[in-house]
Amino acid sequence: MTMTRAEALAKGRAALAASPSASLDATLILAYLLGLSRESLILAPRERLPDGLLESYEAALAARASGRPVAYLTGEKEFYGRSFVVSEAVLIPRPDTELLVESALGLGDAIEARLRGGSEAGYRPLRVHECCVGSGAVAISLAAERPAWTVTASDISAAALAVASQNAARLLPGDRPGGPLLLSSSDLLEGIGDDFDLILANPPYVESPLARELSETWGEPLLALDGGAEGLDLLRRLVPLASTRLVRGGFLLVEADGDQAAALRSMFAAAGLLGAHSERDLAGIERVTIGELP
């Protein structure tokens, strides 16, 4: 006789007892395998599992217990109210990165108000570009929240661009006023032929030894983690380059580790960006550094 859903969840919690998120992880995995929402799963606890599903469930639990992220087991991750496809070609979107979206939306709205100046005569759609797009979570969130903005994005990884393209096709309408999300293969901004009101990036910023450890443990791509010996290699290249690709009054927004925020603000100042400051995430960590081209 097969297990009920409630029995399977209890089995999952026991298998993942070492994790503080054991109950949530077991629920997400079982709901995915059943093709249900978490709510539907929980509302029918006495339903029995289909034949053959228990074996798949146990294998997924074993993978999770060994350190594999739930998002790679289910192939999706929620970010800014939308479900994004993920694979081991991209980093799993983190809640902390929603601050990058929130900051960009606020600054973009202020730029729009300035461009309008009380009328539509001088208005043009905002131009926004994200480097190191990964899954597309940030760029697609911006494009979805502000349909009139022109949003482009780039990445050096062809595999990441394929994931971002899949997410854009799923989550953005074909008749979006600002046009489709245009994706391109680029090392940061190389070959990107426009100037922008907002440039954003969540680049690799983890120190190399830790990046290798995290990649081996979690399965996330080393290319998207490794920022060099101090985690600053790409940041040192990105900031001065981005400062040459902003329009006057445009902003650069970069996510990094809190310990790197002071160094990042110094890079912004050296590149001629004014008002460099770092916004704190929900944990109080200086997560997103922002500067304006005067």
| CATH 3.40.50.150 residue spans of the chain | 95-292
Decide the pairing of beta strands 246-255 and 286-292.
antiparallel
CA torsion sign, 114 to 115 to 116 to 117?
A: positive
Query: Which residues, given as ranges, of the chain have pLDDT below 50?
Result: none
Q: What is the pLDDT of residue 120?
A: 62
- For residues 53 and 11, is the Cβ–Cβ distance under 8 A? no
| CATH 1.10.8.10 residue spans of the chain | 5-74
Beta bridge partner(s), residue 82:
79
User: For the structural domain made of 95-292, what CATH number should be given?
Assistant: 3.40.50.150
Beta bridge partner(s), residue 286:
280
Residue type, 70: V
Contacts of 70 (CB under 8 A, 6+ apart): 25, 28, 29, 64
Q: What is the pLDDT of residue 186?
A: 96
CA torsion sign, 175 to 176 to 180 to 181?
A: negative
Pick the CATH number of 5-74 from 1.10.8.10, 3.30.160.100, 3.40.640.10, 1.20.1250.20: 1.10.8.10
* CA 46 to centroid of chain Cα atoms: 37
What pLDDT, in 10s, does the model give residues 126-163? Answer: 999 999 999 999 999 999 999 999 999 999 999 999 99
Contacts of 18 (CB under 8 A, 6+ apart): 65
Beta bridge partner(s), residue 221:
none
Q: What is the pLDDT of residue 193?
A: 85
CA torsion sign, 282 to 242 to 127 to 143?
A: negative
Q: What is the pLDDT of residue 123?
A: 72
